[in-house]
Structure 1
Amino acid sequence: MDTTKVPTTFWVVAALALVWNLIGVAMFFLQTNMGPEQIAALPPEQQQIYAVMPAWLDIPYGVAVFGGVLGSLALLLRRRWAVAAFAVSLLAVVVQMAGVYALTPAWAVSGASGLPMTLLIVAIAGFLVWYANRAAARGWLR
């Protein structure tokens, strides 16, 4: 039995990571299950983005959010593979976000005003990789 004491902040970060990534899963299902009527209800600028969004971008999106959930669960279970799960999630986030900006008119539609949320998502994914690495180095993960 492992008796390594972890700080309360570890459990807070792990729980918040799980909530954040579960919200990501919910958003993934909302976005990937939008029908023509839901897309028609969007502002015209967002309709432009959905009209040209390659279907394959759903793959890195799914890997990002489900990888994040797995990483969060691994943190809560204090498992070292949280590092790998979060690293895969971060890579998928970068691929998905780059794909959205490179292959759709997202930049033309939102300009710099769309960047803060994109950067926040990437930053949180990067933080979770860093935090899991730090937790592993401190012996909090097994």
Structure 2
Amino acid sequence: MTNHLNAKPPVWFWIVAVVARIWNAMGVMQYLGQAYNTESFRSQYTAEQLEMLSNTPSWAIAAFAIAVFAGLIASVLLLLKKKVAYTMFLISLIGVIVQLYHNLIVVKSVDIYGPAAVVMSVMIIGFAILLLLFSKYSIKKGWLK
């Protein structure tokens, strides 16, 4: 019988943790591009999309920052096998929900971005939920201390 106190995570745990780290790092890069309004960031969007982004309220920008930075920290904590990863993934998920509320409900970004806005939103919230559940499962299995 496996002792939960010394449980060794399987290889797929590390694969998920590395993918989570990459995913959240991409989110941070997207946030920084938007925050610093870089030329490479602007080149990805139409004038209408850039106008919508420039009118984003502070609370939605803060939610975006919380979502991506908490997610990145959570991913690093997952790689370090720390239980607090769960709390950080929860904070990230809350940030995602607030951000998506703004994007999909307040400004109706689907009208500007088209169906891709819904697809990306489903991917983002789905991944945030899965990572939260994965970290909870990892705690239950004794992989996180």
How high is the TM-score relative to the length of structure 1?
0.88
Residue in structure 2 matched with residue 114 of structure 1 by the alignment:
117
Residue in structure 2 matched with residue 64 of structure 1 by the alignment:
67
Separation in 2, partners of 1:58, 1:52: 10
Deviation at 1:103, TM superposition (A): 2.7
Separation in 2, partners of 1:126, 1:134: 12
Residue identity opposite 1:56 in structure 2: W
Deviation at 1:51, TM superposition (A): 4.1
Residue in structure 1 matched with residue 94 of structure 2 by the alignment:
91
What SS is found at the alignment partner of 1:140? coil
Instruction: Confirm or deny: 8 A CA contact 2:7 2:141 kept in the other structure.
Output: no
1:46-61 to 2 correspondences below 5 Å: 46-61=49-64
Residue identity opposite 2:67 in structure 1: A
1:1-40 to 2 correspondences below 5 Å: 3-34=6-37
Separation in 1, partners of 2:12, 2:33: 31
> 2:50 aligned with 1:76, yes or no?
no
Residue identity opposite 1:8 in structure 2: V
Separation in 2, partners of 1:93, 1:3: 33
RMSD after superposition: 2.2
| Identity in percent | 28
Deviation at 1:105, TM superposition (A): 4.3
How many residue pairs match? The answer is 141
Residue in structure 2 matched with residue 127 of structure 1 by the alignment:
130
What SS is found at the alignment partner of 1:65? helix
How high is the TM-score relative to the length of structure 2?
0.87
